[in-house]
Amino acid sequence: MKNKILLAFVSLLSTSLSSCGNTPAPTNYVYDRTNFNGICALTGDFNNGVDVGLTNVWTAEKVQAIGAKSFRLWIGLGDLFSVGEEDDLHLNQKYYSTMKDHIDRLKAVGVKNFLILYSNYVYPTGYVPTTGYVVPNPREEYEEYIRFLNLQKEASKQIKLLFPEIRNFEPGNEPDFKVPGCIHKNGFVFNGSEVENSDYAYNDDDKTCIIMDLCWYVRQGIKEVDPDAKVAIPGLTYGANVPTADFLDLLYKQIESRALPAGQEYSDNNPDNYFDIINYHPYVTQTTASGDIDWDKWVKYNKDVYQVAINHNDNGKEVYISEIGWTDEGRNDDNLKAKIANNYKVVYNLVKDKLPWVTAFFVFRLTNLKTQPESAVEKNFGLFYHPDDEVHHGAPKPSAIQIAKLYNGENYDLLEHL
């Protein structure tokens, strides 16, 4: 039975499933938005080159101040575990302790809902990947591929045992991108150009099979421990090689092909056994002729994504927007920063009012990045300046003040809580 709450029987549903984008969104489902207000952040205590200079303490303090109840965190399976001679997993105690401290501090400041994103995978003994998002080629390395899938299943099961508060698992990020994306053939070079990596990019047919296999195996692992744990599709993103709605359609069609999951004696064409949450990143790029944001087009884009689920008899499934935000490009422009703050207000209210199936809304991201090597694209998305910023010293931007009001009420004064 699907993990959804019905208010009323869906009458004559079958007459609408084959229609295109004109089918009304379902209104007879109840979606739990208790933990709607979310944030994306990493911990700098790993000292792995990302979010250098942050601490678990600093992050938790800022999360508490803005009032986020959902938190999207990054974890490297290949950092948490090493793999023994029999493909058995061994815990990295230092990495585990840092992550546990990170999660415990977030729980203490009111975070209730964790979405864990895999920033790399674990690999069968003897298999040497060129990056942490390599997946053995199921056409040429089938034995290694099945071992790989089983390792992700076991690693996910162990994470659920180690961190029982984590209920939502996202086994990768933005797989619909060719570069960088999270599904590659061995030989792919991180930060390499699309030309350099052209021989190591999976086509969309292979990639969608791999994604659904990965989701199925991860879900099997976590469900052994917690029947209520959930898998989210690795966050799809607007602007990739295939539009989000079309890529989601390909994922459903792979499930319906009865060719999955790999390595099993039976096929499984029930999408509930692959993912519990539709998950994507609807960065706002729709504009009018004058260059302003066309919010009507943006809403339609999101409804078109959900229409795919309706067309595949999966209406009622919840959705996470696991990344959304704007960069100020590091510019000293007060008007731009005020505009971004207002964009958050508009988009937040549109999701609340127009997209009832979205149950968690994750702002990307808590703070400006300070990485080694420096990330030119993502570094200035933060609600807060980086604490090592020589001018602003971790101060909130107008967008942080706005998000805090959206999350706590219009009269909430963020500065009083810092």
Structural domain boundaries in the chain: 5-417
Residue carrying the six token digits 């959804």: 4
**DSSP per-residue letters across 320-380:** EEEEE----TT---HHHHHHHHHHHHHHHHHHHHH-TTEEEEEES-SB----SS--TTTTT
The mean-pLDDT minimum among 15-24, 59-68, 94-103, 320-329 falls in 15-24
Res. 177 pLDDT band, cuts 50 70 90: confident
Percentage of residues in the chain having pLDDT higher than 70? 91
Q: What is the pLDDT of residues 53-94, one digit of tens each?
A: 889 999 999 999 999 999 999 999 999 999 999 999 999 999
Contact assessment for residue 168 and residue 277, using Cβ atoms and an 8 Å cutoff: yes
Percentage of residues in the chain having pLDDT higher than 90? 83
Interatomic CA distance for residues 212 and 257, integer angstroms: 12
Interatomic CA distance for residues 413 and 401, integer angstroms: 7
Alpha helices, H only, 76-203? 77-80, 93-108, 142-162
**Residue 83 has which token pair?**
């793999």
Q: Read off the pTM.
A: 0.92
Q: How far is CA 236 from CA 52, 248, 389, in A?
A: 27, 8, 31
Q: How far is CA 199 from CA 185, 194, 208, in A?
A: 8, 9, 18
Write down the pLDDT at residue 202: 94
CATH class of this structure's domain 5-417: alpha beta
Interatomic CA distance for residues 45 and 98, integer angstroms: 7
Res. 242 pLDDT band, cuts 50 70 90: confident
Write down the pLDDT at residue 384: 97
Write down the pLDDT at residue 300: 97
Task: Judge whether residue 374 has pLDDT over 70.
Answer: no
Across 280-298, average pLDDT: 95
